[in-house]
Amino acid sequence: MGFTNLQYVQELGRGAFGSVVLAIDADSKQLMAVKKLPRASVQSRYTESELINHSLLRHPHIVKFHRAFLSPSNLNIVMEYVPDGSLLSFIQGNRQLSEGQARWLFQQLIIAVDYCHRKGVANRDIKLDNILLDRSVLGKADWPILKICDWGYAKHDAKSLAKSKVGTVAYMAPEIADLWSCGVVLYTMLVGGMPFRSVNSDNLGKSVLKLLDDMRAQRYTFPSHLSDAARDMVAQLLCPQPHRRMTIAEVLQHAWFTPGLPPSALSMNDTYLKLDRRCAQSEGEIQAIVTRAVLGGEQRDGGCCSSRAYAEAGAKAEARSLASRLSAEQPLRVL
Protein backbone atom coordinates (compact mmCIF):
# COMPACT_ATOMS: atom_id res chain seq x y z
CA MET A 1 0.00 0.00 0.00
CA GLY A 2 2.73 2.42 -0.89
CA PHE A 3 0.81 4.33 -3.58
CA THR A 4 4.02 4.25 -5.59
CA ASN A 5 2.69 4.35 -9.13
CA LEU A 6 -0.38 6.54 -9.39
CA GLN A 7 -2.06 6.52 -12.79
CA TYR A 8 -4.57 9.11 -13.96
CA VAL A 9 -8.21 7.99 -14.26
CA GLN A 10 -10.32 11.13 -14.66
CA GLU A 11 -10.80 14.68 -13.43
CA LEU A 12 -13.10 15.00 -10.42
CA GLY A 13 -13.34 18.77 -10.20
CA ARG A 14 -11.71 22.08 -10.93
CA GLY A 15 -11.59 25.32 -8.97
CA ALA A 16 -9.81 28.64 -8.72
CA PHE A 17 -6.68 27.07 -7.18
CA GLY A 18 -6.29 23.96 -9.33
CA SER A 19 -7.97 20.64 -10.00
CA VAL A 20 -8.62 17.31 -8.30
CA VAL A 21 -8.17 14.10 -10.26
CA LEU A 22 -8.95 10.48 -9.56
CA ALA A 23 -5.93 8.20 -9.75
CA ILE A 24 -5.32 4.53 -9.13
CA ASP A 25 -2.25 2.94 -7.63
CA ALA A 26 -1.13 0.38 -10.21
CA ASP A 27 0.24 -1.93 -7.51
CA SER A 28 -2.45 -1.83 -4.80
CA LYS A 29 -5.36 -0.97 -7.16
CA GLN A 30 -6.50 1.55 -4.57
CA LEU A 31 -8.23 4.69 -5.80
CA MET A 32 -6.82 8.00 -4.59
CA ALA A 33 -7.73 11.66 -5.02
CA VAL A 34 -4.88 13.92 -6.16
CA LYS A 35 -5.18 17.67 -5.70
CA LYS A 36 -3.06 19.38 -8.37
CA LEU A 37 -1.89 22.92 -7.67
CA PRO A 38 -0.03 24.73 -10.48
CA ARG A 39 3.43 25.48 -9.17
CA ALA A 40 3.17 29.09 -10.30
CA SER A 41 0.18 29.57 -7.97
CA VAL A 42 1.69 27.96 -4.86
CA GLN A 43 2.10 30.36 -1.96
CA SER A 44 4.65 28.94 0.44
CA ARG A 45 3.11 30.07 3.72
CA TYR A 46 -0.47 29.04 3.02
CA THR A 47 0.21 25.83 1.12
CA GLU A 48 2.71 24.64 3.70
CA SER A 49 0.19 25.37 6.45
CA GLU A 50 -2.55 23.44 4.64
CA LEU A 51 -0.40 20.36 4.12
CA ILE A 52 1.09 20.26 7.60
CA ASN A 53 -2.25 20.83 9.31
CA HIS A 54 -3.86 18.12 7.21
CA SER A 55 -1.01 15.69 7.89
CA LEU A 56 -1.54 16.10 11.64
CA LEU A 57 -5.11 14.81 11.51
CA ARG A 58 -6.08 11.13 11.79
CA HIS A 59 -9.81 10.70 12.10
CA PRO A 60 -12.51 8.66 10.31
CA HIS A 61 -14.50 11.81 9.54
CA ILE A 62 -11.57 13.66 7.97
CA VAL A 63 -10.19 12.80 4.54
CA LYS A 64 -6.77 11.19 5.00
CA PHE A 65 -3.66 12.99 3.78
CA HIS A 66 -1.12 10.57 2.30
CA ARG A 67 1.68 12.68 0.85
CA ALA A 68 2.73 15.50 -1.45
CA PHE A 69 5.08 15.36 -4.43
CA LEU A 70 6.22 17.58 -7.28
CA SER A 71 5.81 17.09 -11.00
CA PRO A 72 7.19 19.51 -13.59
CA SER A 73 4.03 21.66 -13.58
CA ASN A 74 2.24 20.93 -10.31
CA LEU A 75 2.42 20.40 -6.60
CA ASN A 76 0.40 17.21 -6.11
CA ILE A 77 -1.38 16.29 -2.88
CA VAL A 78 -2.38 12.63 -2.56
CA MET A 79 -5.45 12.04 -0.40
CA GLU A 80 -8.07 9.45 0.41
CA TYR A 81 -10.73 9.14 -2.29
CA VAL A 82 -14.30 9.57 -1.04
CA PRO A 83 -16.62 8.25 -3.76
CA ASP A 84 -20.05 9.80 -3.37
CA GLY A 85 -19.63 13.51 -3.90
CA SER A 86 -20.17 16.52 -1.68
CA LEU A 87 -22.82 17.34 0.89
CA LEU A 88 -23.86 20.16 -1.45
CA SER A 89 -24.72 17.65 -4.20
CA PHE A 90 -26.49 15.41 -1.67
CA ILE A 91 -28.73 18.27 -0.54
CA GLN A 92 -29.37 19.39 -4.10
CA GLY A 93 -30.54 15.85 -4.89
CA ASN A 94 -32.81 15.68 -1.84
CA ARG A 95 -33.69 19.39 -1.59
CA GLN A 96 -34.03 19.23 2.20
CA LEU A 97 -33.20 16.43 4.59
CA SER A 98 -35.31 14.98 7.36
CA GLU A 99 -34.29 15.99 10.86
CA GLY A 100 -33.02 12.45 11.37
CA GLN A 101 -30.78 12.59 8.30
CA ALA A 102 -29.55 16.07 9.16
CA ARG A 103 -28.81 15.00 12.73
CA TRP A 104 -26.87 11.94 11.56
CA LEU A 105 -24.62 14.05 9.35
CA PHE A 106 -24.33 16.91 11.83
CA GLN A 107 -23.27 14.55 14.61
CA GLN A 108 -20.38 13.35 12.45
CA LEU A 109 -19.44 16.92 11.52
CA ILE A 110 -19.37 18.11 15.12
CA ILE A 111 -17.37 15.07 16.28
CA ALA A 112 -14.80 15.85 13.55
CA VAL A 113 -14.65 19.57 14.38
CA ASP A 114 -14.28 18.78 18.09
CA TYR A 115 -11.32 16.53 17.27
CA CYS A 116 -9.70 19.23 15.14
CA HIS A 117 -10.10 21.92 17.78
CA ARG A 118 -8.73 19.65 20.50
CA LYS A 119 -5.83 18.92 18.14
CA GLY A 120 -5.26 22.66 17.84
CA VAL A 121 -6.49 23.07 14.25
CA ALA A 122 -9.35 25.36 13.22
CA ASN A 123 -10.62 24.76 9.67
CA ARG A 124 -12.17 28.21 9.07
CA ASP A 125 -13.81 27.19 5.78
CA ILE A 126 -16.35 24.52 6.66
CA LYS A 127 -18.99 24.46 3.94
CA LEU A 128 -21.13 22.05 1.94
CA ASP A 129 -18.58 21.84 -0.90
CA ASN A 130 -15.81 20.83 1.53
CA ILE A 131 -17.73 17.95 3.09
CA LEU A 132 -17.60 14.64 1.21
CA LEU A 133 -19.81 11.58 1.62
CA ASP A 134 -19.25 7.83 1.42
CA ARG A 135 -22.38 5.70 1.09
CA SER A 136 -20.52 2.39 0.83
CA VAL A 137 -19.46 2.03 4.47
CA LEU A 138 -22.90 1.31 5.90
CA GLY A 139 -24.57 0.34 2.63
CA LYS A 140 -27.35 2.87 3.19
CA ALA A 141 -27.57 5.54 0.49
CA ASP A 142 -29.49 8.00 2.67
CA TRP A 143 -27.21 7.61 5.71
CA PRO A 144 -23.68 8.24 4.40
CA ILE A 145 -20.44 8.64 6.30
CA LEU A 146 -19.20 12.25 6.30
CA LYS A 147 -15.62 13.46 5.87
CA ILE A 148 -14.19 17.01 5.93
CA CYS A 149 -11.88 17.41 2.95
CA ASP A 150 -10.33 20.88 2.54
CA TRP A 151 -7.71 22.50 4.80
CA GLY A 152 -6.62 25.44 2.67
CA TYR A 153 -7.70 27.97 5.29
CA ALA A 154 -6.87 25.92 8.38
CA LYS A 155 -5.11 27.62 11.28
CA HIS A 156 -3.01 25.68 13.79
CA ASP A 157 -3.84 26.49 17.42
CA ALA A 158 -7.62 26.82 17.37
CA LYS A 159 -7.53 29.06 20.46
CA SER A 160 -5.63 31.84 18.73
CA LEU A 161 -7.36 34.91 17.34
CA ALA A 162 -8.29 34.66 13.67
CA LYS A 163 -6.84 37.75 12.03
CA SER A 164 -6.47 36.88 8.36
CA LYS A 165 -9.43 37.47 6.07
CA VAL A 166 -10.08 33.99 4.71
CA GLY A 167 -13.02 31.68 4.18
CA THR A 168 -16.22 31.83 2.20
CA VAL A 169 -18.33 34.87 3.04
CA ALA A 170 -21.78 33.25 3.07
CA TYR A 171 -20.61 30.83 5.78
CA MET A 172 -18.65 33.35 7.86
CA ALA A 173 -19.51 35.06 11.08
CA PRO A 174 -17.90 38.51 11.21
CA GLU A 175 -15.37 36.94 13.61
CA ILE A 176 -14.85 33.80 11.48
CA ALA A 177 -15.73 30.72 13.55
CA ASP A 178 -16.08 27.05 12.69
CA LEU A 179 -19.21 26.67 14.80
CA TRP A 180 -20.92 29.48 12.92
CA SER A 181 -20.17 27.63 9.68
CA CYS A 182 -21.51 24.41 11.20
CA GLY A 183 -24.71 26.32 11.93
CA VAL A 184 -24.95 27.40 8.29
CA VAL A 185 -24.44 23.80 7.18
CA LEU A 186 -27.10 22.56 9.61
CA TYR A 187 -29.61 25.21 8.52
CA THR A 188 -29.06 24.35 4.86
CA MET A 189 -29.56 20.62 5.49
CA LEU A 190 -32.81 21.28 7.37
CA VAL A 191 -34.26 23.99 5.12
CA GLY A 192 -32.77 23.26 1.70
CA GLY A 193 -31.31 26.74 1.25
CA MET A 194 -28.79 29.11 2.79
CA PRO A 195 -29.83 31.27 5.76
CA PHE A 196 -28.26 34.37 4.20
CA ARG A 197 -28.07 35.45 0.59
CA SER A 198 -24.72 35.08 -1.14
CA VAL A 199 -22.64 38.06 -2.18
CA ASN A 200 -23.58 39.69 -5.51
CA SER A 201 -20.37 40.35 -7.41
CA ASP A 202 -22.04 43.13 -9.44
CA ASN A 203 -22.28 45.31 -6.33
CA LEU A 204 -19.79 43.69 -4.00
CA GLY A 205 -19.46 46.39 -1.34
CA LYS A 206 -23.18 46.92 -0.86
CA SER A 207 -23.86 43.19 -1.02
CA VAL A 208 -21.28 42.36 1.67
CA LEU A 209 -22.65 45.05 3.99
CA LYS A 210 -26.18 43.71 3.52
CA LEU A 211 -24.99 40.16 4.16
CA LEU A 212 -23.19 41.14 7.37
CA ASP A 213 -26.22 43.14 8.51
CA ASP A 214 -28.46 40.11 7.94
CA MET A 215 -26.04 37.97 9.94
CA ARG A 216 -26.00 40.39 12.86
CA ALA A 217 -29.79 40.69 12.86
CA GLN A 218 -30.26 36.92 12.39
CA ARG A 219 -32.62 37.48 9.46
CA TYR A 220 -33.53 33.97 8.42
CA THR A 221 -36.73 31.93 8.59
CA PHE A 222 -37.66 28.37 9.52
CA PRO A 223 -40.28 26.14 7.87
CA SER A 224 -43.27 25.41 10.08
CA HIS A 225 -42.54 21.68 10.33
CA LEU A 226 -39.12 22.16 11.97
CA SER A 227 -38.97 21.15 15.64
CA ASP A 228 -38.36 23.70 18.38
CA ALA A 229 -35.17 21.86 19.37
CA ALA A 230 -33.76 22.12 15.84
CA ARG A 231 -34.62 25.82 15.68
CA ASP A 232 -32.92 26.41 19.01
CA MET A 233 -29.77 24.60 17.89
CA VAL A 234 -29.49 26.65 14.70
CA ALA A 235 -30.24 29.94 16.46
CA GLN A 236 -27.56 29.34 19.09
CA LEU A 237 -24.97 28.42 16.45
CA LEU A 238 -25.79 31.47 14.32
CA CYS A 239 -25.64 33.86 17.26
CA PRO A 240 -23.65 36.87 16.00
CA GLN A 241 -22.04 37.56 19.39
CA PRO A 242 -19.12 35.11 19.80
CA HIS A 243 -19.31 35.15 23.61
CA ARG A 244 -22.95 34.03 23.44
CA ARG A 245 -22.57 31.51 20.64
CA MET A 246 -22.95 27.85 21.52
CA THR A 247 -19.72 25.97 22.26
CA ILE A 248 -18.92 22.46 21.07
CA ALA A 249 -19.39 21.18 24.61
CA GLU A 250 -22.90 22.66 24.61
CA VAL A 251 -23.66 21.23 21.17
CA LEU A 252 -22.69 17.76 22.37
CA GLN A 253 -25.24 18.02 25.21
CA HIS A 254 -28.05 19.72 23.27
CA ALA A 255 -31.47 18.02 23.25
CA TRP A 256 -31.61 18.00 19.45
CA PHE A 257 -28.08 16.65 18.99
CA THR A 258 -28.10 13.67 21.37
CA PRO A 259 -30.93 11.37 20.09
CA GLY A 260 -29.44 8.22 18.57
CA LEU A 261 -25.89 9.17 19.56
CA PRO A 262 -24.07 6.09 20.91
CA PRO A 263 -22.33 6.58 24.28
CA SER A 264 -18.97 5.79 22.67
CA ALA A 265 -19.30 8.79 20.33
CA LEU A 266 -18.65 11.25 23.13
CA SER A 267 -15.34 9.58 24.01
CA MET A 268 -14.16 8.45 20.56
CA ASN A 269 -12.00 11.54 20.06
CA ASP A 270 -10.01 10.67 23.17
CA THR A 271 -8.83 7.58 21.26
CA TYR A 272 -7.90 9.46 18.09
CA LEU A 273 -6.06 12.18 19.99
CA LYS A 274 -3.74 9.51 21.39
CA LEU A 275 -2.79 8.14 17.96
CA ASP A 276 0.69 8.95 16.69
CA ARG A 277 1.13 11.10 13.61
CA ARG A 278 1.35 8.39 10.93
CA CYS A 279 2.36 10.14 7.75
CA ALA A 280 5.06 8.99 5.33
CA GLN A 281 6.42 12.54 5.21
CA SER A 282 7.70 14.60 8.11
CA GLU A 283 6.80 18.26 8.51
CA GLY A 284 10.32 19.11 7.34
CA GLU A 285 9.91 17.07 4.17
CA ILE A 286 6.60 18.77 3.43
CA GLN A 287 8.18 22.19 3.96
CA ALA A 288 11.02 21.27 1.60
CA ILE A 289 8.62 20.15 -1.14
CA VAL A 290 6.62 23.38 -0.91
CA THR A 291 9.82 25.42 -0.98
CA ARG A 292 10.98 23.61 -4.12
CA ALA A 293 7.58 24.22 -5.70
CA VAL A 294 7.88 27.95 -5.04
CA LEU A 295 11.55 28.33 -5.98
CA GLY A 296 11.41 26.08 -9.02
CA GLY A 297 13.50 23.18 -7.77
CA GLU A 298 12.33 19.99 -9.38
CA GLN A 299 11.54 16.67 -7.75
CA ARG A 300 11.16 14.37 -10.74
CA ASP A 301 8.44 11.82 -10.18
CA GLY A 302 8.10 10.40 -13.66
CA GLY A 303 4.79 11.87 -14.78
CA CYS A 304 1.53 13.54 -13.89
CA CYS A 305 0.55 11.15 -11.12
CA SER A 306 3.54 8.90 -10.55
CA SER A 307 6.02 8.88 -7.69
CA ARG A 308 8.65 6.23 -7.14
CA ALA A 309 10.33 8.42 -4.54
CA TYR A 310 7.51 7.60 -2.13
CA ALA A 311 7.86 3.83 -2.36
CA GLU A 312 10.13 2.97 0.57
CA ALA A 313 8.85 5.52 3.07
CA GLY A 314 5.22 4.96 2.12
CA ALA A 315 5.41 1.19 2.32
CA LYS A 316 7.02 1.28 5.75
CA ALA A 317 4.55 3.81 7.11
CA GLU A 318 1.55 1.92 5.78
CA ALA A 319 2.83 -1.40 7.15
CA ARG A 320 3.31 0.10 10.62
CA SER A 321 -0.12 1.67 10.72
CA LEU A 322 -2.28 -0.89 8.89
CA ALA A 323 -3.15 -2.95 11.96
CA SER A 324 -4.03 0.07 14.07
CA ARG A 325 -6.09 1.63 11.25
CA LEU A 326 -8.17 -1.50 10.80
CA SER A 327 -8.97 -1.67 14.51
CA ALA A 328 -9.02 1.96 15.59
CA GLU A 329 -9.98 4.14 12.64
CA GLN A 330 -13.61 3.13 12.28
CA PRO A 331 -16.26 5.76 11.56
CA LEU A 332 -19.20 6.54 13.79
CA ARG A 333 -21.27 3.63 12.52
CA VAL A 334 -24.28 3.37 14.82
CA LEU A 335 -25.68 6.82 15.46
Q: What is the predicted pLDDT for the residue at 270?
A: 96
Query: pLDDT by residue (tens digit) across 144-183?
Result: 999 999 876 556 665 554 555 456 555 544 334 789 899 9
Intrachain domains 6-82+277-328 and 87-269 with the same fold: no
Report the SS3 class of residue 161.
Answer: coil
Domain residue extents for the chain: 6-82+277-328, 87-269
pLDDT of residue 131: 97
Q: Is 202 a catalytic residue?
A: no
Does residue 116 contact residue 61 with C-beta atoms inside 8 Å? Answer: no
What is the C-alpha separation between 56 and 46, in angstroms, rounded?
Answer: 16
Contact 106, 91 (CB under 8 A): no
Q: What is the pLDDT of residues 43-61, one digit of tens each?
A: 877 888 889 889 999 999 9
Catalytic residue among 25, 27, 114, 125: 125
CATH 3.30.200.20 is the classification of domain 6-82+277-328: yes
**Residue 232 pLDDT greater than 60, yes or no:** yes
> Which secondary-structure segment (H or E) carries 23?
strand 18-25
Residues ≥6 apart with Cβ < 8 Å to 173:
180, 181, 215, 240, 242, 245
pTM (whole model) above 0.85: no
Domain 87-269 -> CATH class: mainly alpha
What would the pLDDT profile of 76-98 be if each residue is shown by its tens digit?
999 999 999 999 999 998 878 99
Spatial CA neighbour of 277 closest among 123, 51, 36, 47: 51
Q: CA–CA separation, 40 vs 7, rounded Å? A: 23
